[in-house]
Structure 1
């Protein structure tokens, strides 16, 4: 296996600091106009005391470092962030596939309306925008959009041959 090929696994407590750092770098790079509701130390504490121990947290690890994270809570895709240097390399696609495997009945998520790249990414993966808000319900007070994904209904194949009775 190429050493740069990411390995996907469940996060453990020892990953929390790196997970928080990836989140901080990714949020800063992807959302420069969005006011963060919490400082760096608060974010690190939240990941170490809440997210990693209490939620289904997955990491992508390459060359010994966490390069991405996925957090699931019930049917919610709560977090999907990649180190900026790993964007566009298929890691996010693999995380979405993993989330769909873990939640085959469907997923929901929120993203900020201003995050055009995330919105295009989720739409490419079959998520549909179902609600737009003014942002008053999120800590950043940033307009957001709700997406949902439901697996395609199984279509019965139509036979090109018909039998006469």
Structure 2
């Protein structure tokens, strides 16, 4: 007889300011493994920035055991971040975080860099469509705005 290790099953909950350090680490790890990504601000200033976001926006985290493995932030209708650690990508965690962000919305937008092919495929698969493109001044990268509209609102 086989048992399922429930400590390895992701648990989804509202994010708290105490989660900021782990979430900034997830974002920094992604940036470090992404060769085209511009250099990020130093860790302390990033934590202060994200602490403000965690206090004002809706935030969800995915946690496996005691480890945060992904997070998503959303203000009224814009996803500001959706990141999952490398070892947990393509396991449904990102989809679940996105679904939580979409749950009480008529529509949402999310921006993703043109070079972030995995994110573009993910958002397209999840029903978001491209609505705008612009060069981000700080990074000089093409940033693509995607929109999802709740099918019940069409």
Q: TM-score, normalised by structure 1?
A: 0.84
Measured after TM superposition, the shift of residue 2 of structure 1 is: 1.2
Whole-Å separation in 1 of the counterparts to 2:151 and 2:21: 37
Whole-Å separation in 2 of the counterparts to 1:5 and 1:58: 16
Q: 1:17 to 1:37 in 2, by over 3 A?
A: closer
Is contact 1:21–1:44 with CA below 8 Å preserved after alignment?
no
SS of the residue corresponding to residue 79 of structure 1 reads strand
- Aligned residue pairs total 150
The one of 53, 60, 79 aligned to 1:51: 53
Match of 1:26 in 2: 30
Measured after TM superposition, the shift of residue 47 of structure 1 is: 1.8
Measured after TM superposition, the shift of residue 153 of structure 1 is: 4.9
The one of 72, 75, 80 aligned to 2:74: 72
Out of 140-149 and 71-80, give the one that drifted further.
140-149
Match of 1:125 in 2: 126
Q: 1:36 to 1:102 in 2, by over 3 A?
A: farther
Match status 1:8 vs 2:12 = yes
Match of 2:143 in 1: 144
Match of 2:117 in 1: 116
SS of the residue corresponding to residue 22 of structure 1 reads helix
Q: TM-score, normalised by structure 2?
A: 0.89
Match of 1:135 in 2: 136
Match of 1:63 in 2: 65
Whole-Å separation in 1 of the counterparts to 2:78 and 2:108: 6
Whole-Å separation in 1 of the counterparts to 2:98 and 2:22: 20
Task: Give the root-mean-square deviation of aligned CA atoms.
Answer: 1.7
Measured after TM superposition, the shift of residue 145 of structure 1 is: 0.4
Map 1:97-108 to 2 at 5 A.
97-103=99-105, 105-108=106-109
Q: 1:130 to 1:13 in 2, by over 3 A?
A: same
Match status 1:83 vs 2:85 = yes
**Larger strand percent:** 2
Gaps in structure 1 of 5+ consecutive residues: 156-165
Moved over 4 A (4+): none
